[in-house]
Amino acid sequence: MSYLGPEFDQPRPGGPRRPRRGPLTVALAALVPGALLGWVVYETVGSSDGGGSDQAAVRSATASPTTSAPLLPSYPGEDDKQSGASAGPSARTGSSAPAASGSGSGSLKGKVVVIDPGHNPGNFQHASEINRKVDIGTNRKECDTTGTSTNAGYTEARFTLDVAHRLRTLLEQQGATVKLTHDDGSPSWGPCVDERARIGNAAHADAAVSIHADGAAPGDRGFHVILPGPVHAGAADTRPIVPASKDLGERIAGNFVRVTGEPPSNYLGGGTGLVTREDLGGLNLSTVPKVFIECGNMRDSKDAASLTSGTWRQKAAEGISAGIVSFLRGS
């Protein structure tokens, strides 16, 4: 957010052929039933996971340590996109607040998480709409902005949606009900920052996280988590959510650096990876624990290399998820 306003072959059964040697015929014939039985068992077990031992290993490596989660779907990124592959789960269209979803089981059953992907890929075509001023409590600011991009043109809006999809999958595997403020072109622009806050409020979210990437000067590196300051003005009153939001933000920051290896910002937050602000409508108008995370600086070549990597974006989602899970469990 660079504005002042708002990604084998299955072994085949079988064994050595039975040689035609008269003296051994009877002995070998006695072994055939056992071999056939072993083959049947092999085929049954092998076909049950649809891919043999290699897929089982992948399934073990990607499952949550606390749940028997299914194999994670692979969301192709901008650098690992396959022809004809979807960029994420099927879009939930029809309103600016896509329907919530959840697996209904797991350690986060009953918990609601709202994910707010910063900006919208369609904002570029709706300048007049996103420039409209909205009330953020302390003053009036733009409805939204286009966000930033890497020097090669990979936009913040595409980045945030990709990470949001990955994060949604991880949280749903834990049993949480997850709601996105917008998804895959619905709506075609926005929502405005005040509406993004209201979506979290209306969902009675246990935690809300707005995902961004920064557009600072080259050489400025690292992530930072933005916490709401104590605002009490107009329609804004963050005082009830400040302590919980700080707890949420600290847990996300700690897990983000641990999982991704991305350093805390060297230009904001004094090396803590935490920044408090009172000028963001998405925080000012929230009545539920909420933070922003700037995952890195898109204008720095080292950070851009990470942000444009599908592998790294998966780690980013895992780090954010770990922080949210820790917060919701209170552990």
pLDDT band at 97 (very low <50, low <70, confident <90, very high): low
Q: How confident is the model at residue 19, as a pLDDT?
A: 40
pLDDT at 73 over 60: no
Q: List the catalytic residues.
A: 294
pLDDT at 30 over 90: no
Q: How confident is the model at residue 100, as a pLDDT?
A: 56
pLDDT band at 86 (very low <50, low <70, confident <90, very high): very low
Give tens-digit pLDDT for 255-312.
999 999 999 999 999 999 999 999 999 999 999 999 999 999 999 999 999 999 999 9
Q: How confident is the model at residue 4, as a pLDDT?
A: 44
Q: How confident is the model at residue 331, as a pLDDT?
A: 77
Q: Which residue has the higher pLDDT, 258 or 26?
A: 258
pLDDT average, residue stretch 58-72? 31
> What are the structural domain ranges in the chain?
25-62, 96-329
Which residue, 192, 169, 166, 170, is CA-closest to 181? 192
Hey, what are 126's tokens? 């709706």
Share of the chain above pLDDT 70, in %: 68
pLDDT at 68 over 70: no
Q: How confident is the model at residue 105, as a pLDDT?
A: 53
Spatial distance between the Cα atoms of 291 and 320, rounded to a whole number of angstroms: 11
pLDDT average, residue stretch 59-82? 32
pLDDT average, residue stretch 75-89? 33
SS3 assignment for 208-271: EEEEEEECCCCCCCCEEEEEECCCEECCEECCCCHHHHHHHHHHHHHHHHHHHCCCECCCCHHH
Helix orientation angle between 310-329 and 242-260, rounded to the nearest 10 degrees = 140
Phi-psi map region of 26: left, alpha, beta (phi>0 left; psi -120 to 50 alpha): alpha
Q: 95 with 186: CB under 8 angstroms?
A: yes
Q: What are phi and psi of 24, to 5 degrees?
A: -100, -5
Q: How confident is the model at residue 185, as a pLDDT?
A: 85
Which of helix, strand or coil describes residue 246?
A: helix
CATH number of the domain at 96-329, please? 3.40.630.40
Which sign, positive or negative, has the C-alpha torsion 187, 182, 191, 211?
negative
Hey, what are 201's tokens? 């409020």
pLDDT average, residue stretch 200-214? 98
Spatial distance between the Cα atoms of 154 and 147, rounded to a whole number of angstroms: 11
The rounded radius of gyration (Å) of the Cα atoms in the chain is 25
Determine the length of the chain.
331
Spatial distance between the Cα atoms of 190 and 144, rounded to a whole number of angstroms: 6
